Amino acid sequence: MLVLIALTLLKVVGIVLAFVMLVATIMTWADRKQSALIQDRIGPNRASIGSVRAAGLIHILADALKTLFKEDFTPRDANQGLFRIAPFLAFVPALLAFAVIPVGDTYCPDGAFIVQNFRDVCTAGAQADYFRVSNMGAGLLCIFAIVSLGVYGASIGGWASNNKFALIGGVRVTAQMVSYEVTMGLTLVGLLMIYGTVDLNEMVRAQGTLLWGFVPMWGIVTQPVAFFLFFTAAIAETKRPPFDIPEAESELAAGYFVEYSSMRFALFTLSEYVASVLVAMMVTTLFLGGWQVPYLYGDGLHNPMTGDLALSIPYLLVKVIQIGAFCFKVLALCWLQLQVRWTLPRFRYDQLMKLGWKVILPLSLINVLVTGLWLLVAA
Amino acid sequence: MSELLIETEDGDLDSAPMNLQMGPSHPAMHGTIKMRLKLDGEIVQRSDIEVGYLHRGFEKSCESVTWTQVLPYTDRLNYVSPLCNNVGYCMAVEKLIGVTATERCQYIRTIMAETSRIGDHLTCVGASAMELGAFTAFLYAIEAREELWRLTEAVTGARLTHSYCRIGGLKDDLPLDFEASYRVVEKKVRSLIYDIRALLDTNRIFLDRMKDIGCISAERALSLGFTGPCLRSTGHDYDVRKYAPYMIYDRLDFEVPVGVKGDNYDRYLVRLEEVDQSLRMIDQCFKQIPAGPINVDDGRLVLPAKDEVYHSIEGTIAHFKLIMDGIKVPPGEVYSYTEAGNGELGFYLISTGEGRPYKCRVRPPCWALMQGVAEMVEGYQIADIVPTFGSINMIGGECDR
């Protein structure tokens, strides 16, 4: 039991704190540097320790120190309790959702396995889940359940501030997140039909199957429409531009967190970056084959034409490569989100709702129908 | 309170409209204005615009300084295109005195005023894009403006408050390499405008946010006293440079772009098209500009050369009198109007023959534009206030004076 707890804690520290929080904080820097690149600027480069500036990376530290030491201001007429708790309600669910994302494949004890049907099957003892915090079977449903909790933080924060701008932002955030959750869920139905599981690791393993002998059966191949719909809906769910209408700084000042300062403010912004990382991880897991590297299985690289082992690689190294591939895909998707963020203008509230309910939702329903027909024909 | 309650269709849920004070300290209300809004959800039912937060007493201040000392104040009217104001003011005083600036001076004034206008339009287009969240387009526009400012700085010595014109002439002639450095800047500006248009012109989100938002009809705009790009976007082609050509505008070949609907998108396009026309005008000016003096040959208006001031008693006295007493403008009154960045900028001056203005009244184009804002935002959504107000291009310094 103690070993189990220690292992889980280790996984939490390793995945959530070391990877997710690192990527999220680095995104605060990358966001500024990326925009500077696009906009012909230099970007942050002033914060320094001694003479070390590290291309502006020290700004992350400076930001953290600054937000920690700022006055934590609470408006007099705000609902004190809810006002204080709202940032945590936003931040905690954002972090919780990472519990079920598989960063790497299950591990076979003693490296004893055979590659069968495009996946590693352990021969000696049970496979161990070292690379995700929780191996609950209903992983995908769990993510949706947790993500939908995130709306409470923002809407309670907006309401408890006792500020009209914040209230409008809070109302917008509620409508936006509730609508896009529906859409997000429906876009994935086709995926569930094809892979027949909601266990995320099983889904990733299924994506290692080769279609017609050489095309990896990644989600983006089997469900290309769903990929675009889900990615759009998921960015909308993060409340990041171009879907940042709840905080639309030009009309609502800062929307639902306009009254927040200090670390509570930082928690709201950070939870958006964490949500971006979550989107990147979900899209990677569902559509880009998660930790899969094409033709790479437990024993090494396989020749897609013949199916024979082409290059033998030690089991542990394979695991490292796979985890590296996962991280690479996540970072690439984070970068893509930044690129979108700095290119497009913001939607208007009603246009966003129209996009969600009248475009993405019907398209995802059609997608479900088409997938069903295709499966029927294929069977 | 009861008359504010809205009966919903099924009649069982009441909701009162929300009163929202937007501004004067609000990111979208640049130039510090306040909007008192009555909101039904996201829809603006009524709006009440309060201006005057940037009132500095421009007109009163003018009465206590010499005619020349008014110039720096005019820089701060529309601080985005100060050279247009400089030109407008100097032309008004010259009209009152009855002198005309020299040929070369008029060309230089035209070039500089058009440069300023380009900067003004780009700032407005960029700022309204930024308020829609398109921050990148904004910074491209600002970069182009920065190039223009660097050019203007080389001519006038200042980035923002140029005070370049003088009554009867200019502070200085153009630098020798001006045309060459202008060509470099022009190329850069054109490529940046191309980038801005590539980002926005066909962007579906941008079009949805700009088209059919903040419409106003030509008749209504005219009756409110609209001028400039905002009037032209409604389809009316009133442009002072065409209707009452001043300086050398009648010798330039340019077109007046007009819109159709008077919505935000038309205002955006009209401004960008005017930038093109301005670049065209500057090109022609460079071809036509003659050599010659930049100041009128009149010792009562123009400061004597430094050589004379230091070495002759007449020069010293003339310099002293012009600085201490100011230019003596013959008694009378005059209204002179020019096309500034936002429209017709008028100066109504009264002189009693002293060295100081008796009255210096400004007709700022923004003041009239602000009258229309209320009806341009009512009925639209709260998010539409931002691009509408942005494309009006209200400049506090000019509106509130």
> Do the beta carbons of residue A258 and residue A165 sit within 8 Å?
yes
**CB atoms closer than 10 angstroms to residue A310:** 13
Q: Flag whether residue A250 sits within 8 Å of chain B, measured between CB atoms.
A: yes
* Average pLDDT of the residues of chain A: 83
In this prediction, residue B12 carries a pLDDT of 58
Kindly calculate the radius of gyration of chain B based on its CA atoms and give it in whole angstroms: 23
Tell me the nearest-neighbour CA distance from A209 into chain B, angstroms: 38
Helix, coil or strand: residue B126: helix
In this prediction, residue B184 carries a pLDDT of 92
Q: Which residues of B touch A (CB under 8 A)?
A: 18, 20, 26-28, 42, 129-136, 139-140, 143, 199-200, 203, 205-206, 208-209, 381-386
What is the full per-residue pLDDT of chain A (379 aa) written as tens digits? 788 888 888 888 877 777 888 888 888 888 888 888 888 888 888 888 888 888 888 888 888 888 888 888 888 888 888 888 888 888 888 888 888 888 877 777 776 777 777 777 777 767 777 777 777 778 888 888 888 888 888 888 888 888 888 888 888 888 888 888 888 888 888 888 888 888 888 888 888 777 777 778 888 888 888 888 999 888 888 888 788 877 777 777 777 888 888 888 888 888 888 888 888 988 998 888 888 888 877 777 777 777 777 778 787 888 888 888 888 998 899 888 888 888 888 888 888 888 888 888 999 999 999 988 988 888 7
**Ranges of residues in chain B whose predicted pLDDT is under 70:** 1-14
Q: B57-88: per-residue pLDDT in tens?
A: 888 888 888 888 888 888 888 888 888 899 99
Residue to test with chain B: of A250, A339, A350, most B Cβ within 10 A: A250
Chain B residues touching A346 at Cβ < 8 A: 132-134, 205, 209
Cα of B183 vs its chain's centroid, Å:
24
Q: Do A41 and B139 touch (CB under 8 A)?
A: yes
In this prediction, residue B1 carries a pLDDT of 42
In this prediction, residue B19 carries a pLDDT of 85
In this prediction, residue B187 carries a pLDDT of 92
Chain A residues touching B382 at Cβ < 8 A: 168, 251
ipTM of the complex: 0.76
> Do the beta carbons of residue B231 and residue B222 sit within 8 Å?
yes
User: Looking at domain B58-399, which of 1.10.645.10, 3.40.50.1000, 2.30.300.10, 3.90.550.10 is its CATH number?
Assistant: 1.10.645.10
Residue with tokens 């020798």: B176
Q: Flag whether residue A168 sits within 8 Å of chain B, measured between CB atoms.
A: yes
CA distance B131 to B129: 5
In this prediction, residue B2 carries a pLDDT of 46
The domain spans of chain B are 3-50, 58-399
Chain B residues touching A241 at Cβ < 8 A: 133
DSSP character string of B36-78: EEEEETTEEEEEEEE--TT---HHHHHTTS-TGGGHHHHHTTS
Q: Which residue of chain B comes nearest to A249, CA vs CA?
A: B27
